[in-house]
Structure 1
Amino acid sequence: MTTSSKTLGDLFDSFRHEAFRLETLADYSKSGNVDAYQVYLAGEPQPDDYNAGWVEELRSHTEKGKRIYRVHILSRPLSDYLCFELGWGYRKNMTGGEEFFILDITEKPNPLAGVPDFWCFDSESVAVMNYDEAGKYLGSEVLGPEQAAEFMRYRDTALAQAEPFTEWWAKYGT
Structure 2
Amino acid sequence: MEEFGRLFSEFRSSATRIETLDVYSVPEERDNLDLYRSGAPLPPDRNEEWARSIRECVAAGKYMGRVHIIDHVLTPYLQFEIDWYYAVNGAAGEDIRFIFRDDVPDIPYTDTWLFDDEIVVDLSYDRSGELLYINRNDDPERREQARTAWREFYVRSFPLADLLAKVRGAELEVPRSPLGLRPAWAKEHACASKAGRT
TM-score calculated relative to the size of structure 1: 0.87
Indicate the residue corresponding to 2:159 in structure 1.
Answer: 164
Match of 1:142 among 131, 136, 140: 136
1:152 aligns to 2:147 (yes or no): yes
Q: Note the C-alpha offset of 1:88.
A: 2.4
Aligned-partner Cα distance in 2 for 1:144–1:131: 20
**Structure of greater Rg:** 2
Point out 4+ residue stretches in structure 1 off by more than 4 angstroms.
Answer: none
Distance across 2 between alignment mates of 1:95 and 1:24: 23
Instruction: Tell me, yes or no, if structure 1 residue 128 matches structure 2 residue 115.
Output: no
Mapping of 1:95-134 within 5 angstroms?
Answer: 95-105=91-101, 108=102, 110-111=104-105, 115-134=109-128
- State the aligned residue count: 167
Structure-to-structure mapping, 1:39-118, within 5 angstroms: 39-105=35-101, 108=102, 110-111=104-105, 115-118=109-112
The superposition leaves residues 87-142 of structure 1 with CA deviations (integer Å, 9 ceiling, x where unpaired) of 2211011122111111023xx35325773211001111110012121111233111
Q: Which residue of 2 aligns with 1:3?
A: none
User: Larger % of helix: which?
Assistant: 2
Distance change in 2, residues 1:98/1:24 (3 Å):
same
CA distance in 2, matches of 1:31, 1:63: 31
Which has the bigger relative contact order, CA under 8 A and spacing at least 6? 1
3-state SS, counterpart of residue 26 of structure 1: coil
Partner of 2:19: 23
- C-alpha separation in 2, matches of 1:61 and 1:120: 15
Secondary structure of the structure 2 residue equivalent to 1:130: strand
Preserved CA contact (<8 Å) 1:124 1:145: no
1:13: how far off?
A: 2.4
1:11-35 Cα deviation digits (max 9, x unpaired):
2222100100000100014354221
- Is 2:17–2:114's contact at 8 Å kept on the other side of the alignment? yes
The gaps in structure 1 that reach 5 residues or longer are 1-5
Q: Deviations over 1:49-81 (max 9, x none)?
A: 211111112122111111100000110211100
